[in-house]
Amino acid sequence: MSSAMHTSSIERAIRALLITLAVLFFMLPIFWLLTTAFKFGRDAFAIPPKWIFFDFTLKNFQDIWTSTETPRYLLNSIIVSIGATTLSLLLGVPAGYAIARSKSALINASSYFFLLLLMIPPIAMLIPFYLVMRNLHLLGSYAALITLDAIFDAAFVVWMMRSYFQDVPQEMEEAALVDGASPLGAFMRIALPLSLPGIVASALYCIIFSWNDFLFALMLTSPKTKTIPLGIMASFSSVEISWGKMAAMSLIAIIPALIIALFLNRYFVQGMTMGSTKG
């Protein structure tokens, strides 16, 4: 008995050690960003490295807020993320519901088209889309970036919500129809509330994808519509790399997505788990 307890204690200790090492490994880049953002340039790459004891400064944050377009970059990222997420949900949620409730084998098989769309390299869609937006005189506008982001986001939403709606009891919608509700009413009053975790999980994915998008933003935006990833890239120049400013801007870029993820984490985990039980 004591031997089994001793073995169990050793296993728990090893498990705790491995988890701690994994967390430290993945948090190291964040720790580097956090410390570098508050360092003077001379301390950023001091030998030996100054991980904890260094001269603290807020100059990097002051510089990016007053001498760069960081507020504009953040506003543009917010507009693009909200626009792409809203459009993706408006298109993807009803489409996922329609596929999940369809009796047609062809329509059900069409859901794999959206999975295939997610597998296409983004650059393959960027070039023709760039030409289309150029011909429509939409290059450099919010609409161009929101539309292309929404294409990829909506494909994920359709695939995610199709699986999720298949887990929602159809009998409850049928009971609502018997009580006199229209198909749209059953969808709005029964299916949507029950699928809220899946919708939140899909929305969180769309927000993160649009917020972090670099390639599409690089090709489709103008100086007035550049997003925060492009602002971070501006820290790199042919003369120098402003590591402190880059780290400060990266932290500012992380904070909004991190706050949203923390508040919606419960719904995200529940939605991803339930939505993956059927394929």
Residue 232: its pLDDT value, please? 87
> pTM higher than 0.85 for the full model?
no
Pairwise CA distance, residues 89 & 150, whole Å = 9
The amino acid at 118: L
Q: Mind listing the pLDDT tens digit for each residue in 33-65?
A: 888 888 887 777 777 777 777 788 888 888 888
Assign 185 to helix, strand or coil. helix
Q: What does the domain layout of the chain look like in residue ranges?
A: 2-57, 61-275
Residue 272: its pLDDT value, please? 53
Q: Mind listing the pLDDT tens digit for each residue in 107-154?
A: 777 778 888 888 888 888 888 899 999 999 999 999 999 999 999 899
* 208, containing H or E segment: helix 196-212
Q: How many residues does the chain have?
A: 279
Closest CA to 96 of 156, 153, 146: 156
Mean pLDDT of successive 10-residue segments in the chain (279 residues)? Answer: 62 88 88 86 73 81 86 94 95 91 81 82 87 91 93 90 84 82 83 86 90 91 91 74 84 85 68 49
Closest CA to 54 of 63, 67, 41: 41
Q: Which CATH class is domain 61-275?
A: mainly alpha
The amino acid at 82: I
